[in-house]
Each structure stands twice: as C-alpha cells, then as structure tokens.
Amino acid sequence: MKLFNIEASRNLTLPDMYINIGHFLDHFMMLIFAKAAFDAGRHFGLSYDEIIIYGTLGLFLFGAAAPLAGWLADKYSRSLIIIIYPFGVSLGAFLCFLSSSPIMLGFSIGVIGFFAAIFHPVGIAMLIRDSNKVGIRLGVNGVWGNMGVAAAPVLTGFIILNSNWQLSFLVPSLICLIFGIAQLRGFKEIDIKEEKTKQKTSNGLVEGWKIVLLSLTMTTLAGGFIFGSLTFLIPRIFEVNLSGISVDIAITGLLAGIVYAIASLSQVGVGYLIDRYSPKIILGFVGIGQFFLIYLSSLYIDYALFFVMLMAMFFVFGQVPITDAILVRYVDDQWRARILSVKFLINLCAGASVLPLVSLFLGYGYTFSDLLTILSCLAIFVVISAYMLPKIKDNKPELKIA
C-alpha cells in the first residue's frame, strides 16, 4: 500500500475533517477519567483527592511524549505517525476497562496519554501546512477539540449512571478503533501551493522569533495550567457547587458539557479575528477576560456560577488558536511539528501538574473557590505575554527579514 512507503507517504495528508475528528477524540479520551474518577475511586475504596493522582501519568505523557511524536513525524512521515494515534489510544482505553487496581488504571491512562500526545504536534502541523485562512481553520479545529472536552463528561456520566465506570472506557475504545480504520482510507495527495516569496532566516525562522517564542512560552505555561485545571475540574466543581440545581451525576455532567460546547464556539470567532487583526491585541483581551471572569466564578454557586463559568470558558478556549496562528507567521513548515511539539510539551505538562497540585490543595483543606482565585491570578501572565509580542501590521510581523 502506498501509504506504508515512507517516501510516498510524505506526499500524503488528511482532509480537515479527519483532523477535526481526531482532535475531538484526542480531548474526549483524555477527559474520560475526569468524570469517571469519583466512581473509580469508590470502586477501589479511595477518595476523590486520592484517586485523581493516578491520572497524572496520562496527563504528563500527553505533553512529554509530544516532542518524540514531532521528531518522528519530521524524520519519517507525518502520515505514518498519525496512523498510530487512534489505535494506540484505543488500546489504552481498553486496558483501562480491564484495570483491576488503581496502579493498573494509572498505567493504562498513561498509555492513552502517550498515544494521544501524537495528535497535537502532528495533526495540527498537517492542518496548518496550508496557510490559507489558517485562523478560521484553526478555530474550527479547536471547536472540534473542545466538543470532545464537552462530550466526555456527558457520555461518561450517562454510561456510569446506567452501567459502571469501566464501560465508560470500553465504548470510546471501540469508537477510536473504528475511526482509525476509517482514517486509513482518508489520506489524499498533498496539493498545496507553497509560498515562494516569504523570506526566512537560514534556519527557517523569521528574525525576531526568539522573543515571540519567549512570549508564547509564558502564554503556554499559564494558559496550559488554566485550561487543564478547568477542563478537568469543572465536572467535579459542578457536582459540589450546583447542588441548588441538581445533585444527579448525569445532570451535572451534562451542564459541564454544555459549558464546554458553547464556549468552544469562541474559537471560530477568534480564528476569524486573527485572520484580520493583530493577534497581540486579541491575546491581551483574552487574558484580561480570563482574569476577571475566573475570579468571579470563585464567588458564586448554582445558576450564577454556571453562567459566569460559561463566560470564563469563552476566554479560556478562545486563547487556543492564537498561539498556533502566530507560529504559522514565524516558523516555516519544515520546523512546525518540532516547534509545536515543544509548545504542547510545555502546555500539557503544565496541565499535568494540575492533578498532584489539586490533590495537595484539597488534602490541606483548600476549596474549589480558592483554586479558582489562584487560576485567575495566573491569567495575568497571559496579558504580560501579549504585551511582549512584536506589533503586527497587515497580519505580518513588523520585523526586518534577514
């Protein structure tokens, strides 16, 4: 088969729809445990703050394995590496289904995280190889990813309500397996007009890229921790603080899913804006919005909490496509998988630190309101990083090209 020839596979890519579905499944699979943790803990005789620590390996590898995926994709073939992703994730979820101890469950979640790490550096690099309308395409892809975030607590809560937490891993495992088979049939020849006039330095990067990467590193660290914290914690926060609305695990899961689904649409709007205006300004507004709204969410319960958290997540999700769009303008295609892999390493490892830190904070008697206050303060670094970015004029860096 032509796809399995390394040289031939370099000339193959996936249509946006497959990359979008892959993004959906990537975040969906990584957040099953967020909703299943409480019931898994009861099954093993552990409290919530004790069981969530077993998800750390998966979240850590979700970021730590990204550079390996990016390096392999650039060295061999993005198409070949992306093939492995759904099958590996399916295997990890099946092992979760079979888990008979917390240690085996933690290892199995680690398998999911290891293979899920493939998608972001490889799939996003495939998506942005064509720089035409990259902002809106990143925005749409981001919505798919966040719909995966939204679907995870809804489907997981429904399955647990009607069966058990083990089955909440088995069903997605089968879905990923089917997608992997379908993806094999979806590859097509690359037909992209390369930009011949865009000048780069000898290493393929626009001059001034160092300050850009420093700025984006700060954004990625702060944003990754905020994103990872809220996407993992909101289902449990709603279970605790929406008691005036419902204490039903399926209902609170549905409400969390509604927040994720509606807020994810912000990425389309942000994608539209960054194709037309300076990402520097947009990133600054996003950081300010996160600061105020996350802090306000720490003050409320029930309906007020639901609506303020919904607005906060508009700004949290809206940040996602901005950094990738900036990288397109500063980094040549041949370097993007590697740069993206480092970016996601930082982002997702920051997110991975959420579980041990949250476990520690809750163990010492801090509340979810205290955690939300801390997250709001981290958003200040997003604002600072936006200030550091070079000014953009006509969607191009105002920098001298070497």
What's the CATH number where 71 sits? Answer: 1.20.1250.20
Query: Domain span at residue 112?
Result: 2-186+201-397
**How many domains are contained in the chain?**
1
Quick check: is 402 in a domain?
no
> Which stretch, 179-183, 202-206, 241-245, has highest mean pLDDT?
179-183
The answer to whether the CB of 107 falls within 8 A of the CB of 95 is yes
Residue 257 inside a domain? The answer is yes
Q: Is residue 239 part of a domain?
A: yes
Cβ neighbors of 25 (< 8 A, separation 6 or more) are: 86, 89, 148, 172, 175, 176, 179
Kind of pairing between the strands at 12-13 and 392-393: unpaired
Q: What is the pTM of this model?
A: 0.72
Mean pLDDT over the full length of the chain: 83
* Per-residue pLDDT reduced to its tens digit, 345-379: 777 667 667 778 888 888 888 888 999 999 999 99
pLDDT tens digits for range 150-201: 888 889 988 988 888 999 999 999 999 999 999 988 887 665 454 444 444 4
pLDDT band at 50 (very low <50, low <70, confident <90, very high): confident
Structure tokens at 330: 């500063």
pLDDT tops 70 at residue 385: yes
Cα–Cα–Cα angle for 361, 367, 373, nearest 5°?
90
- Does some domain include residue 196? no
12 or 222, higher pLDDT: 222
Q: How confident is the model at residue 397 (pLDDT cuts 50, 70, 90)?
A: very low
Q: Is residue 69 part of a domain?
A: yes
How large is the average pLDDT for residues 257-261?
86
Q: Per the domain annotation, does 147 fall within a domain?
A: yes
Q: Is residue 81 part of a domain?
A: yes
Using alpha carbons only, give the angle 72, 121, 57 rounded to the nearest 5 degrees.
90
Average pLDDT in the 74-99 region?
Answer: 92
Structure tokens at 165: 């937490």
- Closest listed residue to residue 145, CA positions, set 254, 28, 33, 226: 28
Q: How far apart are CA 68 and CA 143, in angstroms?
A: 26
SS (H, E, C) the chain: CHHHCHHHHCCEECCHHHHHHHHHHHHHHHCHHHHHHHHHHHHHCCCHHHHHHHHHHHHHHHHHCHHHHHHHHHHCCHHHHHHHHHHHHHHHHHHHHHCCCHHHHHHHHHHHHHHHCCHHHHHHHHHCCCCCCHHHHHHHHHHHHHHHHHHHHHHHHHHHHHCCCCHHHHHHHHHHHHHHHHHHCCCEECCCCCCCCCCCCCCCECCCHHHHHHHHHHHHHHHHHHHHHHHHHHHHHHHHHCCCCCCCHHHHHHHHHHHHHHHHCHHHHHHHHHCCCCHHHHHHHHHHHHHHHHHHHCCCCHHHHHHHHHHHHHHHHHCHHHHHHHHHHHECHHHHHHHHHHHHHHHHHHHHCHHHHHHHHHHCCCCHHHHHHHHHHHHHHHHHHHHHCCCEECCEECCCCC
Residue with tokens 């990584």: 30
Instruction: Note whether residue 390 is domain-resident.
Output: yes
